[in-house]
Amino acid sequence: MTRKTPTFLEPSELAARVDDPQLCVVDLSSWDNYLQGHVPEAVNLDVAALQTSEPPVMGLMPGTDALCRVLAEVGIAPDTHIVAYDDANGPKAGRLLYTLAVLGHERVSVLDGGLVAWREEGNLIERQAEVPRGASYAAKASSDVVATRGYILDHLKDPDVVLLDVRSPDEYAGRDLRASRGGHIPGAINVEWNRTLDYNRNLRLRPAAELRAMFEAAGITPDREIVTYCQSHMRSSHTFAVLRALGYTRLRGYPGSWSDWGNNPDTPVES
């Protein structure tokens, strides 16, 4: 399927459309950072509103009704084109894109390079908080892009399903312990999420050909189903967006991620 809405949008493309009434620019930075400067017309959304927790498990999906209320409050309607960015080089924006994918909302883009590229390339910055205009939002959640712990357990030996662990190599190996157990899901392939960023181009994505080569060399091929995970499905939401931009169509994310798997005493672990 060819997507009409680009998964990543260039700053110049956003600058040309920033006054479009069908566009909602969403800044997922902290409130303080938002007030220090943001894209004109951008509304602020706390990424915590897109998640819930059952400690020690973090990064779970809230109920559909709760998500619809959050989206409506910031002015997102079912036909709105959302452009998201954050102050963390993309993972928070990725989490919004992933959330909207679960709700079947396709008209969403991540600002390529985020606020860094926007600022560095001379675009206008505002410091006054934007008042959300409000909207009405209704949707039904789909499980097509969600991988649960049970789903992964059922597919651990399925050669058609690839687990992509986008945490740091130290987290993957269990040297950086962030749950009751360290390591990774058996068979998971490690490609750290920030390897997709080009630090010489204001944190845009690296060229598509380079990204495809990197993922395919690791066994992350578009003919297989890819399940992305990290610690709480923030960094891996960004990777979900990157793979979508590269044309991968069989994608799932694992809400809860390692905070779910690594804190469960009955799940198998490799290190």
| Domain total in the chain | 2
In a domain, 232, yes or no: yes
Judge whether 126 and 39 are in contact, CB under 8 Å.
yes
**What CA–CA distance (Å, rounded) separates 8 from 17?**
15
Confidence of residue 216 (pLDDT cuts 50, 70, 90): very high
Same domain (yes/no): 95, 162: no
What's the pLDDT tens digit per position in 154-173? Answer: 999 999 999 999 999 999 99
Same domain (yes/no): 153, 210: yes
Q: Over 60: is that where the pLDDT of 2 sits?
A: no
Measured in degrees and rounded to the nearest 5, phi and psi for residue 264 equal: -100, 120
Predicted pLDDT at 1: 38
What's the pLDDT tens digit per position in 232-262? Answer: 999 999 999 999 999 999 999 999 999 999 9
Same domain (yes/no): 107, 163: no
What's the CATH code of the domain at 84? 3.40.250.10
Q: What is the mean pLDDT of residues 191-197?
A: 98
Domain containing 32 equals 8-120
Predicted pLDDT at 179: 98
Tell me which residues are annotated as active site: 230
Same domain (yes/no): 47, 101: yes
**What CA–CA distance (Å, rounded) separates 268 from 119?**
45
Domain end position, chosen among 120, 139, 166: 120
In a domain, 1, yes or no: no
Lowest mean pLDDT among 15-19, 66-70, 181-185, 221-225: 15-19
In a domain, 227, yes or no: yes
Q: Quote the strand ranges of 107-195, DSSP E.
A: 108-111, 161-165, 189-190
In a domain, 134, yes or no: no
Q: What is the mean pLDDT of residues 190-196?
A: 98
Same domain (yes/no): 171, 238: yes
